[in-house]
Every structure is written in structure tokens, then in C-alpha cells.
Amino acid sequence: MADTYSSYPASSPAHTGEVSRWLFRSVFSLAIATFFLMGLGSATRVMNAGLACPDWPLCYGTVLPAAQMNLQVFLEWFHRLVASFVGGMTLILGGLTVWYRQVLPQWLPRVMGGAIALVLMQGILGGLTVTELLRFEVVTAHLGTGLLFFPYSLG
Ligand code: HEM
């Protein structure tokens, strides 16, 4: 395809324009995935499924708890699975916005740096919600960090 950035010389304006457009689209997709993840977290809470996977980071000591699977286990397990995806994408996109900082608005790598800090904190708090048996302060901090992370994930 003539229009993909791989067909332009690496430092041409067309190449840098394509890179920044691709990054903006990816960051926007990350925000949509985060929104979905927050809905899943809320469903986990409403369905009283916060401890449906009693251990962490695995669930019943395995990556896929097929033998124990029911709606509650699915919600908690799927919330963690999507959270791993969102966390990984945040790290990768954050790294890419630093790598391509010359062709991006200055604020974007900084905002993505904040997003990385928040998603790491959210992962730790997610683990603590389970190991501390849904302690009120931890669940509230997990909710608060999720609400803070969402606008950051929009870049
Ligand atoms: C980017 C990552 C994450 C986001 C944005 C996120 C977001 C949320 C949200 C919005 C809720 C609903 C909270 C409430 O209604 O009080 C929730 C619940 C929950 N999350 Fe996450 N979460 C993330 C990662 C994780 C991880 C890695 C775990 C690992 C175990 C986890 C475990 C839980 C649990 C157990 C609940 C249910 C708490 C309860 O039943 O009271 N979360 N999450």
C-alpha cells in the first residue's frame, strides 16, 4: 500500500505524520479498552465476585481455571486478563511515545509517563484487593486509581 508509513523514508514528514497518527489512534484504543475494563471491574463488584479467584496473580493456582469456571470466576478472571492487556499496552505505548517524542506534542510522553505510574499502582492495588480480602480502603483506592487512570489513558 502506497499510504502506509513503512513506504516512506524513516525521517520524512509523511513518515512522522503517519507515526504520530498511528500512536494517537492506539492511545485512543487503549482508552476504549480501559473503559470496558472499568465496566468489568464494576460487574465483578456488583456480582460479589471480588474473591471468586481466591489467589493472586494466578486463579486457583492456574492461568485458566477451567475446572472452577462459573460466572463469578469468569468476571474476576476476565477482569484480570483485560487488565494485563491494558497494563502491557500502556507500557508499550508509553515507551513508543518517548521513542518518537520528536514528532509528538511535548505533553504526550509526559502524560503517558503518568499513565504508566498509575497502571503499575493499579496492578498492585488489584492484587491487594484480593490478598487483603476486599479491605475497604484498598477497594476504594483501586476504584479511585481506576477513575484517575482513565483520563490519562486518553493521552
Ligand atoms: C488498569 C488496570 C485496572 C483497572 C482500570 C481496574 C478497574 C477496576 C474498577 C473500576 C473496579 C470496580 C471498583 C468498585 O466498584 O469499587 C475494579 C474492581 C476490582 N478489581 Fe480492578 N482494575 C484494574 C486491574 C486489576 C487487577 C490487576 C486486579 C488483580 C487482581 C484487579 C482486581 C479487582 C477486583 C478483585 C475487583 C472487585 C473488588 C470488589 O469486589 O469489591 N483489578 N477494578
Residue 129, ligand 1, Cβ within 6 A: yes
pLDDT of residue 13: 67
DSSP per-residue string spanning the chain: -TTSGGGS-TTSHHHHHHHHHHHHHHHHHHHHHHHHHHHHHHHHHHTT-TTSS-SSSSBTTBSS-GGG-SHHHHHHHHHHHHHHHHHHHHHHHHHHHHHTGGGS-THHHHHHHHHHHHHHHHHHHHHHHHHTTS-HHHHHHHHHHHHHHHHHHT-
pLDDT of residue 11: 63
Q: What is the Å distance from ligand 1's center to 111 Cα?
A: 22
pLDDT of residue 153: 82
Residue nearest to atom 13 of ligand 1 (CA): 143
Listed as ranges, residues in the chain with pLDDT below 50 are 1-5
Q: What's the pTM value of the predicted model, to 2 decimals?
A: 0.90
